[in-house]
Structure 1
Amino acid sequence: MTDLAQRRTALYRLYGPDGGLLYVGITHDLEQRWEDHRYWKEWWHLVHRSAIEWFPSRASALSVERAVVATESPRFDKTHRLGRGWRDHPPVTFTDPAEPHVKRALRAAIEGERFPHGRALPCRRDLATEFTTSIPTVTRVLDELVKEGFLESTTRRSYWRRGERPAPRKPKPCQGYFDADCR
């Protein structure tokens, strides 16, 4: 296996709908990195365009990333702007302007019985896709609806209408000798 520091590395820029630079990053694996952003970055749904440059090593990509952050000031980047102690700073905050709309639409969908009674709501990822927003935004909306007493949830982040907890899943039937339930 090749040394990661010597692997070919991508520098990527992510742009918003107005053409403004949202974020700059480097990675060896764009697909995995963007999947991580899709899950964790509240601003991911704002990305309308990307630009990718490949470099022969991580060090060469990192030096260009530092220069880009210093000169182009991406909206959601703090790694190089704040220096070594960047993790000690509060996160760059972003409140999705669509959050009130998402809350109203989700509440209407629940009240309109779009989701079956006694069943868990779709997963946060599916709801984020449906409402064209990020998973953290959907999570915040769902948590607000729990605080308001409209929904209930478990520690595993399953949500359902208040007073309609889904029935526990039925155990799977025995699959064979190696299944512990069969012995």
Structure 2
Amino acid sequence: MTVTHMYADKPTALYRLYDSNGVLLYLGISRFPKARLREHENNQPWWHLVARNTVEWHKDRTAARDTEIRATKQEKPLYDKEWRHSQHDPEGGYDDTADRHMVRETLTARINDGSYSVGTVLGTGAVSRELGVARTTVSRIFHLLASEEKTLRRLHHGRYEVISSAN
């Protein structure tokens, strides 16, 4: 397979992400795996399930991509969009519906009972760690509470201020 990419001739990493039971959640390739993992942390609803990762380097992007294709077929990562035949999730995606519901209910209750009073600044990272869900899930609910319920106001990336209770 020929790869046309600006880093095609540079060493490229194949990384794997596992949950606490050793289940392979995802695998991918990147020239800059630390940065790529940060992107996953910010964008993937399954990120909170990641307990460990491995990184193996290949001589170039073509070698890494060939290995990725073989590994995806053999190892069947749970949330990899290129492999959609998982017995656990035929669509290859993590359904964060229950997580979103829990975050919304928890935040609304804390705003209404005064635990998060008017003026409190909330961050997606801190709330996601506290509630044990992905940052992207919290971000969706913050956006909802700001745009529809008007209980939060967006300050800047990942930060919202409580402006009123839902009562």
* Bigger radius of gyration among the two: 1
User: Any gaps of 5 or more consecutive residues in structure 1?
Assistant: 83-89, 164-183
The Cα of 1:146 is off from its aligned counterpart by 4.9
Q: How does 1:66-85 map to 2 (within 5 A)?
A: 66-79=69-82, 81=83
8 Å contact kept, 2:142–2:152: no
Measure the CA separation in 2 of the matches of 1:113 and 1:122.
14
Q: Residue type matched to 1:160 in 2? A: V
2:68 corresponds to which residue? 65
Measure the CA separation in 2 of the matches of 1:6 and 1:47.
30
Q: How does 1:1-183 map to 2 (within 5 A)?
A: 4-79=7-82, 81=83, 92-95=93-96, 97-117=98-118, 119=119, 121-146=121-146, 149=149, 151-153=151-153, 158-162=160-164
8 Å contact kept, 2:13–2:55: yes
Q: Residue type matched to 1:130 in 2? A: E
Q: Compute the RMSD of aligned alpha carbons.
A: 3.0
TM superposition score normalised by structure 1:
0.68
122-131 or 150-159, which moves further after superposition? 150-159
Aligned length: 153
- Residue identity (%): 27
Measure the CA separation in 2 of the matches of 1:46 and 1:107.
24
User: Any gaps of 5 or more consecutive residues in structure 2?
Assistant: 1-5, 85-90
Residue by residue over 1:13-51, the C-alpha shift from the partner in whole angstroms, topping out at 9 and shown as x without a partner, is: 111233221100011112211110100011001011212
Q: Secondary structure at the match of 1:133?
A: coil
2:88 corresponds to which residue? none
Measure the CA separation in 2 of the matches of 1:4 and 1:140.
33
Q: Residue type matched to 2:64 in 1? A: A
103-112 or 34-43, which moves further after superposition? 103-112
The Cα of 1:56 is off from its aligned counterpart by 1.1
Q: Secondary structure at the match of 2:122?
A: coil
8 Å contact kept, 1:103–1:141: yes
Alpha-carbon spacing, 1:93–1:133, altered in 2? closer, same or farther (3 Å): closer
8 Å contact kept, 1:16–1:49: yes
TM superposition score normalised by structure 2:
0.74
Measure the CA separation in 1 of the matches of 2:154 and 2:106.
22
Q: Secondary structure at the match of 1:52?
A: strand
Q: Residue type matched to 2:133 in 1? A: T
